Chain A
């Protein structure tokens, strides 16, 4: 325990790495990587998510291929591609960007899927109603569908943000000094503090993830959950709930509603 408390003396190294003497690192770097990759990934992901939903095959097909390829590839592999392949083709990226770009690409595929699922969850009648008042498809998407879809995407986005934040730790493999790497460095200097250092890393991740979930909960409460009570498309029938539960329990849940 005392060894764990002792690690608090190293908090600055865990938090920002060798900054201000050297490059920024530690937990701060994890947060920066996560935020950057989520923002870049989102702006790419929107196009792929929308593109996948269009009836035009020549747009949707490349989007499907992109999303499925990225999603079926481990993040580590994408990072290696950028780290090892690009120099071969003569492109030189700084260490920082060769971490941000793969993370963004990885994020874009997942966020595209979240966006697509959110759009699909908005009842079809909403689009029909908007079109029937003379809105263009794009205008309807922006002012009617997206605001509703966003609220439904929120829980998926939060869980993705959480996992993306934890995923940023993978980039230690190409020598970026983020939280994991700072811990590793400390254990190399003081091998007897290994357990304390690793527990301290976990605490660092936990604090950020918990804060994120908490903030999201507050936001969800403020936006309010959309009420489709008056709107029951057949697809929402309660007996179609896909839960691997015995029938008796399911029946209990439905009658209790």
Chain B
């Protein structure tokens, strides 16, 4: 297997001096699904945003698809087109319809003509089950539908990597499954995926590895059952217990 994403000793400080990423080293293979979890403020979102350089790093290097992000000769916009990203807040363009949201980058970045772009967008919309909503504005869609359009927008670019930054955290619980379904089928199709999420069910079903982060460090990496059932580090234990609502001191039975 070839390594699709490789973090090499990555360090990042915020402007206020906070050390948000501490010496992160991690390799992610092509076709692998990696779930990143951890308490808020752990640096998960920052970590995932460094992969397409929405957040620049201060030290170390990140290699994506063979290109170094720290190298000035790397064509960043071309690389970003190969890396799809889905956000917690959907970030659909509110002044454009679902279809236009998808075709915008297809015509401007991929340089497809209008007919080709529309065809491809409709195909992807059908895949996420929203073919009948192509003419709706984001404000007319439910949260789950908006997030599926956002996924479609990234998928239409035919990326090699998909990044998901807490894709279901802003959704009502009953709407999360429609988004997770799309993500599961995407994982099954062999997409390289990095997902920040607290959906344990999703992680257990499709993740190849789970990365637990706390305070800017990678605390533990392992297969989903290992992390969620039998964590080795005390910090991981504490977090897993809190998401399952198990009081910290009474976990001997579990």
Contact = CB atoms under 8 A, between A and B. Distances in A.
Interface of A: 123, 125-126, 128-136, 139, 143-144, 147-148, 151, 226-231, 233
B54 interface: yes
B168 to A, nearest CB: 15
B68 interface: no
A134 B95 contact: no
Interface centre among A129, A131, A139, A143 (most CB of B within 10 A): A129
A134 B89 contact: no
Contact of B91 (A128, A143, A227): A128
B91 A125 contact: yes
Contacts of A128: 49, 54, 85, 87, 91
A143 to B, nearest CB: 6
Interface in B174-214: none
A230 B94 CA distance: 9
B46 interface: no
Contacts of A147: 95
B108 interface: yes
Interface in B51-107: 52, 54, 77-78, 80-85, 87, 89-95, 104-105
Contacts of B109: 133-135, 139
Nearest to B141: A230
A133 B52 CA distance: 10
Nearest to A226: B94
Interface magnitude class on chain B: 20 to 34
B207 to A, nearest CB: 22
Nearest to B94: A226
A129 B87 contact: yes
Contacts of B49: 128
B240 interface: no
Given A133-B105, A133-B157, A126 B146 contact: no
B154 interface: yes
A136 B78 CA distance: 9
Given A128-B87, A230-B146, A134 B94 contact: no
Nearest to B140: A227
B138 interface: yes
A151 to B, nearest CB: 7
A131 B80 contact: yes
B105 A229 contact: no
A209 to B, nearest CB: 29
B94 A143 contact: no
B153 interface: yes
A231 B105 contact: no
Interface of B: 49, 52, 54, 77-78, 80-85, 87, 89-95, 104-105, 108-109, 137-139, 141, 143, 146, 150, 153-154, 157, 163
A75 to B, nearest CB: 35
Contacts of A228: 94
B105 to A, nearest CB: 4
Contacts of B80: 131-134
A149 to B, nearest CB: 10
A231 B157 contact: no
A233 B89 contact: yes
Contacts of A129: 85, 87, 91-93, 150, 153
Given A126-B93, A227-B94, A135 B54 contact: no
Contacts of B92: 129
A203 B150 CA distance: 53
A129 B137 CA distance: 17
Contacts of B54: 128, 131-132
Contact of A135 (B91, B108, B137): B108
Contacts of B143: 230
B225 to A, nearest CB: 32
A147 to B, nearest CB: 5
Given A132-B85, A233-B89, 5 more contacts: A129-B92, A133-B157, A134-B109, A143-B108, A148-B95
B78 A133 contact: no
